[in-house]
Structure 1
């Protein structure tokens, strides 16, 4: 079953029930009644997602425009490389979310993935927006070229790229689940050393507009990671032939390898940045990996990193541990609507 090709869900099948018989490869009319879905609590996830609505050009970048030139050379270099990393990861997420929705026979999954795809598109737009505020068009383009040219970044993204393309070419339940594993890694771990870089600047009162935008992206990604993890577990429960030791070992191996690659990338891009402790960052990456594994119903790989070693990050973003931050009350990080004066229209 797990190796059989999935068919794209039909738009409407009136003879099938409204409540889907399976998330993928099942039967459903295509009519969505949120009061009659297979996994009722997913309506709350949908509501949280749409409650996170924001737009990039409502964030005031005027202070960042002035401050960018005053950053150290290492900070400016890391700023451009991290934006390059984030854009490389977020751009394919829009397509991947939409692709998953095309094969989902549960209309609630289709709707949730549609919202996730829209938010990933906003994230990618926001990287263009912040770069257009602080650097020239040539430097913007160079940052977006990193995903195609930087050898460390190419190595880091290689396995993710291969798996995402494998699902495009061979849409089976097995490749869907493997793609969900890498999506969970992306949403729950791959972004986080980059996020930490911008939060480190913010705690020094540098580039606060950028870090505010990053906190909104971070908040979205936490919700995406939560849903992807639940979807992974639900698909696994519906396809028990995949719930075996070989697949579990594969998942653990991808996490181990991804942690090593993330640590290599972090050391490469952040080693010379003041305020970033690379050992602390390594612990944070392992902590995030443990967190995503638990959410996916698996055991932790790094027993020494069950707590967040970079607790100062909690001041900048919502998280799943119960700590909630009101973005509008943080005195150092104001969310201010702006006009077109930031230069985004010059793209």
Structure 2
């Protein structure tokens, strides 16, 4: 495969057309007219992303502050480890979204990735926010160290880390496609054992503030995953030399390996948590992998897992295939804005 290095897109090139001639390596003036873009339906995606705007400190955490000490030791341990996991995914995702936008020669992609990067920054802030609500600074710092020291988590993140860093070192179309594959895995599968843990707590009326926050993050990630899938398909269509059996096998191999690592992680972090069936969780991870492959225009690799085995999760988050849940009508998880940090004035 050709490995020509891409140059960063120029900020303004007045001699080039406003409508880009290519997503990466194309020509564009840098001027964005949403009514004249190469992929017109992406404007609707942009609008949906912008419509999801929220801020971490608008979620009332006062009940979680009271409840956290009453959780079992296993629940508290999983809570901190999973926050540690999520923070190791969202922090680099902010930077990766911005890096992709630097090489995108379509200004609509630049704008959409800017919104995604901003939302990932909010997600990362929210993990600091929820931890500051329930544990000391020392414990917060320990949770955020997990991505650097926990052996299971390091193993789980190794391929993602390698691919993201290879894109930094070698900004080629091939590495953009591979980075989009891992971004799709991140947005659409890697988060989900963690999300399930918090939703399981909410099912028991525990830590409802945290689960509400997770719902907003989950809603954003669904939209991110949908766009990344489309960007992957469009980039592959514009660069058909990469649309080979060899590259498709690479995608499937990395999906399978990622699924195995995610199941290993979920068994490690959720083993002692009451209310989660680990076999069901493994099926859910495979179901999510199938879903992301479909969004990327590829075939499912787990034919026994085309249906969601954890249907109760639908009550907690928007989804593409079913009836959308209105967060604001869920009385047990109301979105309550607070004027003071973490709602401590309500204690």
* Pairwise CA distance, 1:247: 0.1
3-state secondary structure, aligned to 1:297: coil
Is 1:12 aligned to residue 7 of structure 2? Answer: no
* Pairwise CA distance, 1:101: 0.2
1:254 alignment counterpart? 254
2:294 alignment counterpart? 294
* Pairwise CA distance, 1:2: 4.6
2:50 alignment counterpart? 50
2:68 alignment counterpart? 68
3-state secondary structure, aligned to 1:309: coil
1:162 alignment counterpart? 162
1:119 alignment counterpart? 119
1:181 alignment counterpart? 181
5 Å-filtered alignment, 1:144-163, equals 144-163=144-163
Cα distance in 2 for residues equivalent to 1:341 and 1:223: 28
- The answer (yes or no) to whether the contact 1:267–1:278 under 8 Å persists in 2 is yes
Provide the alpha-carbon RMSD of the alignment.
Answer: 0.9
3-state secondary structure, aligned to 2:12: coil
3-state secondary structure, aligned to 1:21: coil
3-state secondary structure, aligned to 2:139: helix
- The answer (yes or no) to whether the contact 2:133–2:342 under 8 Å persists in 1 is yes
* Pairwise CA distance, 1:219: 0.1
1:39 alignment counterpart? 39
1:240 alignment counterpart? 240
- The answer (yes or no) to whether the contact 1:2–1:242 under 8 Å persists in 2 is no
Cα distance in 1 for residues equivalent to 2:322 and 2:279: 26
* Pairwise CA distance, 1:343: 8.3
Cα distance in 2 for residues equivalent to 1:138 and 1:342: 18
* Pairwise CA distance, 1:320: 1.1
5 Å-filtered alignment, 1:17-32, equals 17-32=17-32
2:324 alignment counterpart? 324
1:269 alignment counterpart? 269
5 Å-filtered alignment, 1:81-230, equals 81-230=81-230
Cα distance in 2 for residues equivalent to 1:101 and 1:322: 31
* Pairwise CA distance, 1:323: 2.0
1:281 alignment counterpart? 281
Cα distance in 2 for residues equivalent to 1:267 and 1:253: 21
- The answer (yes or no) to whether the contact 2:87–2:124 under 8 Å persists in 1 is yes
Distance verdict in 2 for CA 1:228–1:341, change over 3 Å = closer
Cα distance in 2 for residues equivalent to 1:229 and 1:309: 23
Cα distance in 2 for residues equivalent to 1:50 and 1:57: 18
Cα distance in 2 for residues equivalent to 1:342 and 1:217: 18
The CA deviation string for residues 150-192 of structure 1, in whole angstroms up to 9 with x for no partner, is: 0000000000000000000000000000000000000000000
The CA deviation string for residues 203-238 of structure 1, in whole angstroms up to 9 with x for no partner, is: 000000000000000000000000000000000000
TM-score, length-scaled by structure 1: 0.98
Gaps of 5+ in 2: none
Cα distance in 2 for residues equivalent to 1:93 and 1:167: 13
TM-score, length-scaled by structure 2: 0.98
Gaps of 5+ in 1: none
Moved over 4 A (4+): none
Cα distance in 2 for residues equivalent to 1:264 and 1:341: 36
Cα distance in 1 for residues equivalent to 2:130 and 2:261: 26
2:314 alignment counterpart? 314
- The answer (yes or no) to whether the contact 2:188–2:225 under 8 Å persists in 1 is yes
- The answer (yes or no) to whether the contact 2:61–2:343 under 8 Å persists in 1 is no
Cα distance in 1 for residues equivalent to 2:275 and 2:44: 38
3-state secondary structure, aligned to 2:230: helix
